[in-house]
């Protein structure tokens, strides 16, 4: 994690070092919420990687913006981004070895089913480079609307599968074939980082409204990101892509003319 943070700061420092002679550049920070979800990939869909819904988590970034003209600028970020998804209700889980012994040799199912809550919590350090277009509402107006988009590189910081609740265990998704005489606890937190790829890349985009106060500006923006790479290393749990919607507020200070 320290190496990832160091390299991300180096990237931002190099970007900022190129703008020291620019007419105008801004340094800032933003924070808000991330609303991520996991989408199953094509033919790799199975009971484990489907059925996810959005969860909530924090989103925060340090930003550097270089203005090339009154309409166009480039913006670099070092961003902490929450990713993942959640399930609730009857869902599949891999058949444990202890329960596989309940079936005739070689006939244990791949999945069993139970009614519990499950949440995949993944946090990334992302480095987006965005092309940004903005327009003032009128001449000398402090209000400005903008859109931005561009690629990002993402580095996995940590990942956990958190489950909770208690339920009977069933051989079928409809809950008609119970395998246990009484409910079993599903309270557990499992570190799954070793099962996931540590690098991802994709695209980010935002639309926002900024208000200028002398050399300072505050903004509110909404947008999202989507990773192009499957997050799992193997295929046993299927394949997923991760992405998130974001809502943030921010502050920046402008240097130069």
pLDDT average, residue stretch 67-76: 92
C-alpha distances out from residue 188 to 78, 82, 171, Å: 32, 20, 21
Q: Which pLDDT score is estimated for 22?
A: 47
- Considering only the C-alpha atoms of the chain, give the largest distance between any 2 of them, rounded to a whole number of Å: 79
Task: Kindly tell me if the per-residue pLDDT of 205 is higher than 50.
Answer: yes
Tokens of 239: 């394949």
Confidence of residue 140 (pLDDT cuts 50, 70, 90): confident
- Determine the Cα–Cα distance for residues 130 and 61; give it in Å rounded to an integer: 13
Burial category of 234 from C-beta neighbours within 10 Å (exposed 0-12, middle 13-18, buried 19 and up): exposed
The strand pair at 216-227 and 184-185 is best described as: unpaired
Share of the chain above pLDDT 90, in %: 77
Q: Which pLDDT score is estimated for 5?
A: 55
């Amino acid at each position: 994690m320290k190496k990832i943070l160091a390299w991300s700061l180096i990237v931002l420092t190099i970007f900022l070092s190129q703008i020291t002679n620019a007419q105008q550049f801004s340094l800032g920070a933003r924070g808000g919420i991330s609303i991520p979800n996991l989408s199953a990939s094509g033919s790799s869909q199975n009971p484990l990687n489907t059925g996810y819904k959005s969860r909530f988590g924090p989103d925060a970034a340090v930003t550097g913006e270089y203005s090339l003209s009154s309409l166009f600028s480039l913006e670099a970020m070092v961003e902490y981004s929450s990713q993942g998804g959640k399930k609730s209700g009857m869902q599949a889980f891999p058949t444990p070895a202890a329960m596989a012994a309940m079936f005739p040799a070689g006939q244990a199912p791949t999945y069993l089913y139970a009614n519990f809550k499950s949440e995949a919590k993944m946090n990334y350090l992302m480095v987006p480079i965005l092309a940004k277009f903005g327009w003032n509402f009128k001449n000398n107006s402090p209000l400005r609307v903008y859109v931005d988009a561009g690629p990002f590189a993402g580095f996995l910081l940590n990942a956990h599968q958190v489950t909770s609740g208690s339920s009977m265990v069933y051989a079928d998704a409809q809950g008609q074939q119970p395998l246990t005489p009484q409910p079993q606890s599903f309270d557990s937190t499992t570190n799954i980082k070793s099962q996931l790829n540590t690098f991802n890349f994709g695209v980010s985009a935002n639309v926002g409204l900024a208000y200028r106060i002398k050399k300072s500006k505050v903004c509110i923006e909404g947008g999202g990101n989507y990773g192009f790479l499957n997050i799992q290393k193997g295929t046993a749990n299927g394949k997923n892509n991760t992405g998130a919607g974001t809502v943030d507020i921010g502050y920046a200070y402008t240097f130069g003319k």
